[in-house]
Each structure stands twice: as structure tokens, then as C-alpha cells.
Amino acid sequence: MKTTGIFCRPSCPARKPLEENVEYYTAVKEALFAGFRPCKRCHPLESVGGLPEWAASLLRHIEQDPSVRIKDRDLRTFGVEPATARRFFTKHFKMTFQAYCRSQRLGRAFDEIKSGDPLDDVILGHGFESHSGFREAFFRQFGTSPGKATGEDYIRVAWIETPLGPMITAATENGICLLEFTDRRMLEAQVKTVASKFKLTFSPGENEFIRQVREEIGLYFSGSLIRFSVPIEFPGTEFQVKVWKSLLEIPYGETRSYEDIAKRLGTPKAVRAVGHANGLNRIGIIIPCHRVVNKNGELGGYGGGLWRKKQLLEIERLHRRSN
């Protein structure tokens, strides 16, 4: 804000200033270079909604070796109270810390069985003490037995940090099927839709597509990438798929109206249906629903929050000019 010399997040709870007193910047460093000081209420220098360092450290530890069983006494050696870990993981991952660790081990075990590793080696390698215990946990997690895993699949789900807040991403063995900001109200419904469309269960894990999308999202926010190459899967009704494919054709840094898309699809009166399909997009940023605006040029709605839509468009406009 020009009158105070302070810069905030768009979501700052402080009293909103008059529009004529506001300047917008697409990156924290630009606001700092312009001489503004960070707000003490919304802390814009910190990652938006990011993981606390203790949680990020635990996740890195698990990802490096999912087979290690971390017990309550081990958590305390990391300086983390078990109750704190349990509450945090239940809130952010919809499961306790121990359940998250077990899911990671089972997901890695699934991948190893699918690739042909001997079952005995897999069971021992992931900390399970008996075949029966492993089979029971495996069935609860995936709804199938270890012996059938070679012909089955599951949806791997992971967390991605971005400058606009954390996102949850999910992938099958063929590509990314979900990419949403974690605070989106429709996230739970979208997860259920994906599970229903693919008839597969979710489990924490990674594959080549999740690693690729994490890298490409980072490059996108830095302005180094304007077109994603990671494979995506987006099953839906015939009309929904047509709308989502139309969104993929909107050039980086440009916008189209709902009316424009309806006309392009040969259904000029289906503006409301286009808006509904746009709102049901499950692969944010990559399928750029943020590039769709109202006919008068106003931003309209966005599932990830209108402030994020504005920021995404500003990022693209800035880097399009620089490129």
C-alpha cells in the first residue's frame, strides 16, 4: 500500500485500503525492491500456507526411506510431540501420521510387487512382521490382494509447495489426474470424483509424473515454462472434456470469455454450462481455467480463490512480456 509502505498477501485479514492506494506486484522480491516492508499480520515473506519446517522435515525423511517405521519415541527425538504430528496430519492429509507412514510403505510395496519383486523381499523390506499382517493391511489400503497387484494400479497422491500456497496432486500410471490448491472447498468432492472415474484408491506416493509436475510447476512460477508437457488424464462427460480441451488451447498470458468458449464449441447458448464445466476442472493451472473471464473482462469466480486467479494472470502477463 502506497500510503503505509507495507505490502501484504491478497488474502491479508487487515482492513482493505482504497484501490487508488494499492500497487500490485507479482513477486515478493519486486515489492521489496520497490521499498515496501512486509506486513506483520499476513507475513508475506513466508510460504503461503506452507508446511511448518518440522512437518516438511518429517516428510522428507519418510520419502527418503518409507520402509523405516517411525514410532512416538522417534518423533520426540525429532523434537515433535506425537499428538502434534497426529493433529497436523489428520488436518492436512486426512489421516494420522502413523497411517500416513503405513500408506507410504504400502504404496512402495505395491510398486515393487507390480515390477516383479519377490513378495517375501517386499514384506521384509517394508517392516511388516508377517505375511498375514501385510496381506490384511494391503487389502484394506487397495481393496485387492498382493498377488493381484501386478495387474492393478492405485492413484498416488503428493503435496507440492508453490508461491501461492500448497497444492495436492495425484497421478495414475498414465499421468496427472488431479492438481488443486489444498484449501479449495471442492477438494474433497474432486478427490471422490477422481476415485470414482478411475475406480482406484488413493495412497500417498510418487511416480515419474508427480516428480515431473512438481518440477514443471516450479518452472511455471519462475517464468521459465509456458507450456506443460506432463501427461494428464481428465475423464468426464463429452461436453466437459470438450470444454477442458478448449481451455488447453488458450495461449499463455491471454484470456477468453465463457461466451468465447461456448461459440468455439458451436454451442453459443451454453455459456452457463461452459462455466459449470470450467468450475469442475480437476487439474488446475495445467488446464488453465484461470484464463477464463467474464464477457466484460472482470475475473469472475475461481475455485482456488479470486486472488490466486489474479496472481496467476499477472504472473503470465509479466513473463510473457519479458519473453
Render 105-171 in DSSP notation, one character per residue: HHHHHHHHHHTT--HHHHHHHTT-S-HHHHHHHHHHHHSS-GGGGGG---EEEEEE--TT--EEEEE
Element (H, E) at 204: strand 202-204
Per mean pLDDT, which range of 83-97, 200-214, 218-232, 268-282 is the poorest?
83-97
CB under 8 Å to 309, separation ≥6 — which residues?
290, 299, 302
- Length of the chain, please? 323
End-to-end CA distance of the chain: 28
Answer yes or no: is pLDDT of 78 > 90: no
pLDDT score, position 272: 93
Q: Residue 121 class from Cβ within 10 Å (0-12 exposed, 13-18 middle, 19+ buried)?
A: exposed
Which residues participate in catalysis according to the annotation? Answer: 8, 289
- Contact (Cβ atoms closer than 8 angstroms) between residue 250 and residue 274: no
The dihedrals phi and psi of 298, each to the nearest 5 degrees, come to -70, 155
Q: Residue 30 class from Cβ within 10 Å (0-12 exposed, 13-18 middle, 19+ buried)?
A: middle
Amino acid letter, residue 173:
E
What's the mean pLDDT in 225-247? 96
Question: Coil, strand or helix: which one is 1?
Answer: coil
Grid cell, residue 107, equals 504404496
Instruction: Give 81-131 pLDDT, tens digit per residue.
Output: 999 988 888 877 778 888 888 888 888 888 888 888 888 888 877 777 788
**What 3 state SS string does 162-198 have?**
CCCCCEEEEECCCCEEEEEECCCCCHHHHHHHHHHHH
What's the mean pLDDT in 142-160? 86
Rounded Cα–Cα distance for residues 288 and 309 (Å): 10
- Contact (Cβ atoms closer than 8 angstroms) between residue 97 and residue 59: no
Give, to the nearest 10 degrees, the angle between helix 271-279 and helix 238-248: 80
Q: Which of 53-67, 81-95, 98-112, 272-286 has the highest mean pLDDT?
A: 272-286
Answer yes or no: is pLDDT of 33 > 70: no
pLDDT score, position 131: 85
The pTM (predicted TM-score) of the whole model is 0.76
Answer yes or no: is pLDDT of 278 > 90: yes
Rounded Cα–Cα distance for residues 230 and 283 (Å): 12
- Contact (Cβ atoms closer than 8 angstroms) between residue 156 and residue 206: yes
CA 139 to chain CA centroid, Å, is 27
Answer yes or no: is pLDDT of 24 > 90: no
Whole-angstrom CA distances from 292 to 168, 176, 206, 321 are 22, 22, 31, 20
**Integer Rg of the chain from CA:** 22
Question: Coil, strand or helix: which one is 232?
Answer: strand
Angle formed at CA 317 by CA 314 and CA 319, multiple of 5 degrees:
105
Q: By percentage, how much of the chain surpasses pLDDT 90?
A: 37
- Pick from 168, 150, 164: nearest CA to 205: 168
Answer yes or no: is pLDDT of 12 > 90: no
pLDDT score, position 55: 84
Answer yes or no: is pLDDT of 69 > 70: yes
